[in-house]
Chains A and B, each alone.
Chain A
């Protein structure tokens, strides 16, 4: 009795093993695996969800086979903690043998994975993180999101040209906030503008009241604002509560604050804010209208700039594979991506062959009410903006 049971067990086990051995090599040859590392939980979760959604949408629309190979996405959640990112990237590369790593919600996460991409010689497609230095950390990094320098310098130039002379700045005291502030300051003061007040707000800031009162008392023409996307709503409400909107002080800044994902919940306080950014759900191209409609239909809300970055990121991977005829050699893929140009829902974009960073139009937009909802309506375009934040060589 005992023996028979044991025999059965062995039999079952060996069948399973045989099955595994048979299926693994067959799949590895015609599948391309993409390790997608995103914050799906925690404070940055909305970034991860948008990118994940956009990739699903793209694969629905374009099929999951490219150049005869099946695309397989392996999604991992790093909760935006760089230690996790590094561990997950390593597991994906070593155990799952992925051909790409992609995603990366915040700068430290993208940097943590950079040495692994270099060592393994596989492309790292950055779809969210926005600090300039990222693409310099590995020759295998390509970016489809944006850099803060792109939007902050543009809003600085725009402000000078449009009669704004005195600006008070309010920025969150962390790397992206300081980046935004410095790039803005450079361009704004170079054009003859004056910074009358400079306040750095702690990142975990419960109440903007005292800072806003200080802004109000310094009587600027406009205030330049950069706070993490989640705090934008609180900020705009308190801005209106204190009557700053009525005293004629405009809000300007990089577009992160007015993320499409959150904008509609901010209420009418956000009306009139002018920001510079890469994407607005109200971008008036047919391609974008189709994209927004498809995204809304599939996921029930409107896409933000993170969704577009994810959509373009997976597009870049598809196109690179087409160019290499499905070859997954890292160097060939990166070569194929360099200089690639295409029309995205955000407008025409390309990958700078020198820096592997994105080149895109930056739009100046104003928050307005369209069909009862708040949108960033674009009214000026700066074409083919490169990242000016790279260290000069």
Chain B
């Protein structure tokens, strides 16, 4: 019984992590209709920023996390202004070719600067080990992930649904021409949203170094997981990818625990079944225009 609950908890933590990593992609792909395969590169940037600050400059881990967010967001906005915006109106194939090129460049650049071996972030002692909650082993680090990601999700949902910026963004996505006519600065809204998505990915990258491992191949290795989350969740809202992440996280952990021989395939099986049942994802309006 105890190990079932521990597994459930691990699955939720893993799912939450996937969500923070991938939700920026849900925004660019779903809301802005831009296929950004380089999303993982921003996550990697955040991870390395955090690692350098903590390991080399001696920053405390919790102070480095926001910096990972800000750093990735700044890189995101610079690239958006310099490169991405020219491709918004191009075909999806152009976008794919462009962003995959960016992935390879980021891999080579990080390999050159930081070296190809894995990087670990030194954690404070308070985050190491497990606590025993009514006989259920709960990893402290994973507990922190669940808390941070849970709060982030709530905040995102509120921003999108309740704030003026949220309604501007939704308007800009639904009909950019009408939105411009109403005086909304659409390029600015997009740039800001893009940067925010990159920042979230950076934060996710910093958090995931401990669990997923951080090396220059990060963007290639996890691209497939981000895409699965977005396809299964449907890319038209935040709730879709969130529930999809949780479902995939739990299914992955449970699959690997109960049927280790089948373990790696469970996540793909779940994806195929869901897509057969709902081709637009769990909560898909038709996102493609």
Contact = CB atoms under 8 A, between A and B. Distances in A.
Interface of A: 41-43, 45-46, 199-202, 204-207, 209-211, 213-214, 216-217, 230-231, 233-234, 237-238, 240-243, 261-262, 265-267
Interface stretch (B31-39, B42-50, B148-156, B208-216): B208-216
Contact of B111 (A41, A209, A231, A267): A41
19 contacts: A41-B116, A45-B117, A46-B117, A202-B264, A206-B212, A206-B221, A206-B222, A206-B225, A209-B139, A209-B253, A210-B10, A213-B6, A233-B118, A234-B118, A234-B211, A241-B129, A241-B141, A242-B137, A262-B118
A199 B263 CA distance: 10
Point out which of A46, A237, A240 has the most chain B C-beta atoms below 10 A from its C-beta. Answer: A237
Identify whether the interface residues of B are mostly helix, strand, loop, or mixed: helix
Contact of B129 (A46, A201, A240): A240
A46 B116 contact: yes
B260 A267 contact: no
B286 interface: no
Interface in B202-231: 210-213, 215, 217, 221-222, 225
A141 B198 CA distance: 50
B137 A209 contact: no
Contacts of A241: 128-130, 139-141
Interface string B109-125: 00100011110101000
B215 A230 contact: yes
Given A202-B264, A241-B128, A43 B257 contact: no
B130 A243 contact: yes
A42 B221 CA distance: 13
Contacts of A211: 256-257, 260, 263
B254 interface: yes
Given A209-B14, A234-B211, 16 more contacts: A45-B116, A202-B263, A202-B264, A205-B264, A206-B225, A207-B212, A207-B253, A210-B7, A210-B10, A210-B253, A210-B255, A210-B257, A213-B3, A234-B212, A241-B129, A243-B130
Give the 6 A-B residue pairs with the shortest CB-CB distance, closest first.
Answer: A210-B256, A210-B257, A45-B116, A202-B264, A209-B10, A210-B253
B130 A242 contact: yes
Interface of B: 3, 6-7, 10, 14, 111, 115-118, 120, 122, 128-130, 137, 139-141, 210-213, 215, 217, 221-222, 225, 252-257, 260-261, 263-264
A206 B263 CA distance: 12
Nearest to A265: B120
Contacts of A200: 260-261
Contact of B116 (A43, A199, A265): A43
Contacts of A262: 117-118
B117 A230 contact: yes
B115 to A, nearest CB: 8
Given A202-B263, A213-B257, A241-B130, A207 B117 contact: no
A42 B111 CA distance: 8
Contacts of B117: 45-46, 230, 261-262
Nearest to B14: A207
B260 A199 contact: yes
Contact of A233 (B120, B128, B137): B120
B111 A45 contact: yes
Contacts of B140: 241
Contacts of A207: 14, 211-212, 252-253
B128 A43 contact: no
B280 to A, nearest CB: 27
Nearest to B215: A230
A41 B211 CA distance: 24
A186 to B, nearest CB: 21
Contacts of B217: 43
Contacts of B115: 45-46
B118 A230 contact: yes
A266 B137 CA distance: 23
Contact of B3 (A217, A231, A234): A217
A240 B128 contact: yes
B10 A213 contact: yes
A214 B116 contact: no
Contacts of A213: 3, 6-7, 10, 257
